[in-house]
Structure 1
Amino acid sequence: MKDLIDEGRQVFTDNWYTSLRLAEYLLTRKTLITGVVRAGRDPPRELMAQPLSRRQSCFARKGNTLVVKFQDRNQVTVLTTKYEANMVEQCRTHFGNRVEFYYKPLHIDKYNSRMGSVDCADQMLEPYETNRKSLAWFKKLGIHFIFRILLNTFITCKAIANYRKDFMNFILQTTRELLCQYNDGARKLFDPPARVYEPEAPTGHTLKTLEGKKQKRCRVCYPKRKDTRYYCPACPTQPGLCCMDHYREWHNQREEGEPQPTTSGKRRRTQ
């Protein structure tokens, strides 16, 4: 840094370094600064006491130093010795392709475009943050580490594998894949049943899909209240059968004359 000052350069700093004292010193060394200010580090009291609604901003100036307080999801205070008190138009796309236009202070927009990796990562994780005040601090820390790992993996996939979806879709896709890999119940939930719907013998019996959103109770695993869209149209009662294993079990019982379960939870009495 010592070799770069006195050359008319500009630096961007996070809230760990930014202060009014540093800005005044850098001005004497022909260096400009833009950075986020901590709430308890030198921001004007009158500015911080000013109430703001969402997307509103308030400016304060001291000499060549300009400070702005902007209210978005959270309140942010940014200091600059380079930019004026100007606004730039921004747009944000919401669910349902609804586009919202609003104005943001110029030097906040410039800071966002040049922020460091730490602030950029914090900004990407903020909408999905699940931390709450709790005495179980180790749980919060563990969840935070999990999201950090997800973010690092997401950035790597975008850089190497040309991944084009957003971070939320990446989280959902990763969760599904992990559940299906390590949890049998989730694998049955997400994976479709075996795609062997052709009859094993020319008997006319096979599994077919019900039309629309109709469902039936599987005759084999009915105690679990499992519904299915697959059934055998060749049987007189057209029973619901959720997979080929239950299809075979049901028809083997019919051929051997064993009592078959009914959807009412009782077995038929043999005559």
Structure 2
Amino acid sequence: MRLMEPYLDKGRTVTTDNYFTSLSLANRLLACNTALLGTINKIRREIPPPAKNTKGREEFSTHVYTSGSAILTAYAPKKNKAVCILSTMHKQVTISEGRKRKPNTITDYNSMKCGVDIMDQKVRGYTVRAGTRRWPVAVFYNMLDLAAMNAHVLYTTCTRSTESRRDFLHALAEELRRRFLQEKTMAKKQRPPPAPGKTTQCQVQIHCNRNHSSERCAVCAKYTCRKCRKDGPWICSNC
């Protein structure tokens, strides 16, 4: 709703995938004169039980359910399989005369889904996503993927470059890594030494447990305690 604020109360239609679509969101958008059209996951509790049951469903069959101004279309592209579309854009569902007998909700969604499914398809090709059970980490991975995708679109549009997204992402990662290492090196050089006679926390912590020291390693410039030094008094155990 925060992202849609500039477009509310203008009679527009927003297309969503099953991650966002819900009956409550559709009603909130409809109250702001904005329609919603999108696929909805069958595990949602607002989905009626007959729409969830796909066993024995005929191929290319359509079932329609209504709740106020919202219309739920359950279309079976294959036998024993159904795709659910929630819409507040349509007043009624009509079936095409083709072989697949697609309803107009499915046809309209396919024509407007390019900004949803194609983006997900491109991001899935080159992603930083890794297995995790923490949803904030998953959201962060998705933010990185979308930022890199948008950066490539802006780069090719502004420079008229034909560089592939794979080469662009590789160059972007190298540039970010180089900048991070430069900032890290500058931070080490600008780090003030401890005052004479005072100690600071050991930054190596291999053989100690939060011991303290006032001396630095000659190689990595980390503060190291007496237990974590080796090869003389100026080199830590890591180096």
User: Do the structures match in fold with TM over 0.5?
Assistant: no
Q: Which has the higher contact order (CA 8 A, sep 6+)?
A: 2
Question: Given the two structures, how large is their TM-score scaled by the length of structure 2?
Answer: 0.42
Q: Which has the larger radius of gyration?
A: 1
